[in-house]
Structure 1
């Protein structure tokens, strides 16, 4: 192991200086400084104090650790920190992971498989106690000055580490816990926060090369919803756990076990969501190891499951009596999931052959849509271009779904149409936009409301693209359908809509501007896939269909942003520019029976988390 020189800092507000000094005193060698907020009367934010806290790294240091001022530190912490710094000198190390985060699932898998460390998945970096290599610590302040732009501290440092390609390893168990005191930075709205799994004595693994797994699937429970993070070629996909279990052929077994279980008296859908999470965790663990988990570790991580998933909705006092009920139910479901995986493992299901090609738009959004269509019974593949030589692209596909926009010059529509004809596509579905109605005076617009080129320039671009597709269909004899979607909402959705703009403003502490009299329609990304699947299930019908999940007035849409991203002020402004009116979706319902079914707050929250947790180079200049 390499020689380690460790320095550190505790970031604090003057009101909590005494608590910060007590934390610094935990280091017997006096290497930890107390750094106070340089503008304590300014808006509360950890970002401001983080800059000098990382910048005070010692000149001869190899590593620097920064604590926040509301932590509990395990005995023997500093020798353990030095050991892991020597063993993994180029990595970031998070000594705390809260039970409310996605990475709580990583810690849970680590504990259940016997790992002492595990690599974090894409999410804001847990920064309550974080150690960086010294050079990375020295560069943080400059990056934050150039890219911070009001984003939360844990998001900025996540983007910084991604830019440097520095992995984040999580301690299993955590050697730092959260001391539950009111948050000066305004995080108390997130409820009771503690570590997923905490030890009061830090112990470094005796093996210098102890494994630090990067799990391919991570079940987690957050905001009362059972979710799974699944590693895909383009990044992490976050999906409902029942959808994941259906993909791997275990949903029926899961549902049967839940139906037979002796369920405790817990509110609402808690039993089902806990069962899904723990069952999926058991199935994933069974695919990773045959060893039995340590009973104490299993009990501890499932003790944290209920508070982590429900702390936004319930107080600590309300959660305490729920903890043993959730734990016992989760342990039962965990055992069921392990048994189900072992029974199903010898007979893996072959991947279905794709009959649908999704192209155009952002690659990650197109790949996500292809997976959702496959889930809906229409095996699909995403291809950036209709290249017959591309992996998985079928000859003469049943349908091509094109997500191109009039502003996308990477794959011009004329090229797409020529390629679709060469490939022998049997149907083309052009994913258009409700923007074609922009500037129109009427609400409840139907598919035949626009019969000639609109005057609004943006609407005209979408209209011209539709006409180009329809003309090609007549010339080639290929059925063409245009689907006019309201603003898509979900991970990887375009950043051009009102909801996306407001979410970005909320994350970066900019006020939202509400325009008098406007109403908005949005389409959840899962409803988008289900609507396309409903059309593909029938012979090509109407040439044009409208699709939207729901409509909101200005204040209701603003409330959705504050509930799923961050509380932020808004200001009113008079109407001054053309707006897209509401459109009717009665036709697609009459033709196919499709109705929106996705829970919109979950879709909006998924979009907000994606906006915060991914680095978007194209965000720069949005407010220029």
Structure 2
């Protein structure tokens, strides 16, 4: 698949097939907005009548020698799977390739992320069905996201070649991806080799450390979904953060920024822990060096130019190799050491189940052992005796678990404390100045605010009746994976991903709370006897333009428009009270949290988001002017 401007490059790639089976497909609307999605439809549709499989290349690839004979054998060996012959060093799945290489695997299954589609093979029937799915569900989403959702809908797994037999030729991206910086394969071989007798086993990892956007992360399998968390948080969870930090302090640090050294060390140390959990065999030195050479460029390619990265590569590699060894040693030293889990004393309920389960894990990380239950009566078997506290993620709308039922269940269980997670929306329609907790003394006039107020009043009345301490925490708009979709940030991110302009309202301000700050604030409250009845919690505030810029930086660059008429206004809150009472202050990097939300919306969600933008918003064409 190519653009007419790069047809010659595409024809050169096609000529590499000795049997002449590769067809060049050009953008059907080359003057339109640059997007791979448009060219993907005809590229996947031109399947030969007698073909068993279909491979689509993008026009900026380098292909290993003997690639095409190798592909034929792979297709016969794994007929029902998608096969990615390339994975870039900048993606989450770069961590999958590193683990595969370090443990001796030839293949590894992709984790939730856009599908590596630079050189992708599908079974022929699946290839033929892509165009119809994209027509119904594309709606402006990036091509590699659409194909990921398509393969999920078909329940077709994606296996990644280890090493890659296709690399990225670093030419300017017509589709606008050059903003992602220098892009190459995590681990590439220039000679493809596969025998029908070769092992087709495909590794599936439950822990995948990776380095992306300058941040060290771990993908951790949690039952039916992935949790993506900062690597230092994961290492603290398994009791190895201190060992990791001590190793970094004793290491010979290269002449690199401290932040880079720390994030590289965390990633490679956690990779060593993961490798040691999978095999006792030492990684091949040449392989370890190769995969760690790509670690720095992959994690930093959006912050540094290629020219700046080249001298950093050996420095990062050597530091990462030392951390890899330290992580392996740390796992071996602690393997088999029992770590009894403390009994949970906190139950989280209400809200989205995935968000609630995530909050319970973060509370446990913060020292308040918690479990999640969609209903309190389901938590009785997990919590011995009466729970120390119930945290209810409130909603003014029908959730299938009415607040009255929650309160009745809390009384039956003998909950010693109730924390009701309310919303800054309770201040909606009020004065523009920063709102303190005692500034709202009577039922609000705004309809949405009244719903939140009434729920708070119901909890307070229950507390007075039962003698149970009740605290109300008014959170700003939550930001992070599984955050509610009714917030402005989620709405704007979905618009950005689907190439729809954001609509900005003059004079409006926004306040958000990072999902990790939410957990830490709740843990800080629970660490003390019940204090103030109401607390405000927020991480950061933005004016309208700065909020839009946050979206373009963490999701996708997109235009915005300005509405002539003002919209509903929620004033900013003061968070001085919770700081004075508990010492809590926002500490999570909100840019990191916003990016995590953007990635979740694009890559980690299932078909529940696919149809959100099918029907145009009737307000899009009224009262709006171009910025």
TM-score, normalised on structure 1?
0.97
Structure 1 position 450, deviation (Å): 1.5
Do residues 574 (structure 1) and 564 (structure 2) align? yes
Farther off after superposition, 63-72 or 341-350: 341-350
Which of 443, 446, 470 in structure 2 is aligned with 1:456? 446
Q: Are the counterparts in 1 of residues 345 and 388 from structure 2 also a CA contact under 8 Å?
A: yes
Mapped to 2, the partners of 1:398 and 1:388 lie a distance apart of 16
Mapped to 2, the partners of 1:253 and 1:156 lie a distance apart of 41
* Alignment match, 1:312: 302
Do residues 474 (structure 1) and 474 (structure 2) align? no
Farther off after superposition, 487-496 or 402-411: 402-411
* Alignment match, 2:147: 157
Q: Are the counterparts in 1 of residues 347 and 379 from structure 2 also a CA contact under 8 Å?
A: no
* Alignment match, 2:102: 112
Do residues 242 (structure 1) and 232 (structure 2) align? yes
SS at match of 1:174: coil
SS at match of 1:110: helix
Root-mean-square deviation (CA), in Å?
1.2
Structure 1 position 409, deviation (Å): 2.7
Counterparts in 2 of 1:131 and 1:76: CA distance versus 1, 3 Å: same
* Alignment match, 2:382: 392
* Alignment match, 2:620: none
* Alignment match, 1:5: none
Q: Are the counterparts in 1 of residues 505 and 567 from structure 2 also a CA contact under 8 Å?
A: no
Q: Are the counterparts in 1 of residues 109 and 158 from structure 2 also a CA contact under 8 Å?
A: yes
Which of 327, 333, 354 in structure 2 is aligned with 1:343? 333
Which of 210, 213, 219 in structure 1 is aligned with 2:209? 219
SS at match of 1:453: coil
Per-residue displacement from partner, 1:220-266 (whole Å, max 9, x unpaired)?
Answer: 00111111000002410010101111111111111111111110001
SS at match of 1:31: coil
Q: Are the counterparts in 1 of residues 109 and 159 from structure 2 also a CA contact under 8 Å?
A: yes
Q: Are the counterparts in 1 of residues 73 and 196 from structure 2 also a CA contact under 8 Å?
A: no
SS at match of 2:217: strand
Farther off after superposition, 121-130 or 408-417: 408-417
Which of 71, 82, 86 in structure 2 is aligned with 1:92? 82
Instruction: Mark the runs of 5 or more structure 2 residues left unpaired by the alignment.
Output: 618-627
TM-score, normalised on structure 2?
0.96
Q: Are the counterparts in 2 of residues 234 and 364 from structure 1 also a CA contact under 8 Å?
A: no
Instruction: Mark the runs of 5 or more structure 1 residues left unpaired by the alignment.
Output: 1-10
* Alignment match, 2:41: 51
Alignment size in residue pairs: 614
Mapped to 2, the partners of 1:160 and 1:615 lie a distance apart of 10
Do residues 181 (structure 1) and 204 (structure 2) align? no
Q: Are the counterparts in 2 of residues 404 and 411 from structure 1 also a CA contact under 8 Å?
A: no
* Alignment match, 1:606: 596
Per-residue displacement from partner, 1:54-95 (whole Å, max 9, x unpaired)?
Answer: 011112211101000000011111122122222211111000
Do residues 412 (structure 1) and 407 (structure 2) align? no
Mapped to 2, the partners of 1:67 and 1:365 lie a distance apart of 38
* Alignment match, 1:13: 3
* Alignment match, 1:145: 135
Do residues 617 (structure 1) and 608 (structure 2) align? yes
Do residues 254 (structure 1) and 244 (structure 2) align? yes
Mapped to 2, the partners of 1:619 and 1:467 lie a distance apart of 37
Q: Are the counterparts in 2 of residues 383 and 393 from structure 1 also a CA contact under 8 Å?
A: no
Do residues 265 (structure 1) and 248 (structure 2) align? no
* Alignment match, 2:158: 168
Q: Are the counterparts in 2 of residues 87 and 209 from structure 1 also a CA contact under 8 Å?
A: no
Structure 1 position 412, deviation (Å): 1.0
Per-residue displacement from partner, 1:321-375 (whole Å, max 9, x unpaired)?
Answer: 0000000010011001000000000203122211000011111100110000000
Structure 1 position 573, deviation (Å): 1.7
Farther off after superposition, 118-127 or 229-238: 229-238
Q: Are the counterparts in 1 of residues 45 and 127 from structure 2 also a CA contact under 8 Å?
A: yes
Structure 1 residue ranges (4+ consecutive) displaced by more than 6 angstroms after TM superposition: none
Mapped to 1, the partners of 2:279 and 2:527 lie a distance apart of 41
SS at match of 1:454: coil
* Alignment match, 1:66: 56
Q: Are the counterparts in 2 of residues 367 and 382 from structure 1 also a CA contact under 8 Å?
A: yes
Do residues 321 (structure 1) and 311 (structure 2) align? yes
Structure 1 position 391, deviation (Å): 5.4
Structure 1 position 390, deviation (Å): 6.1
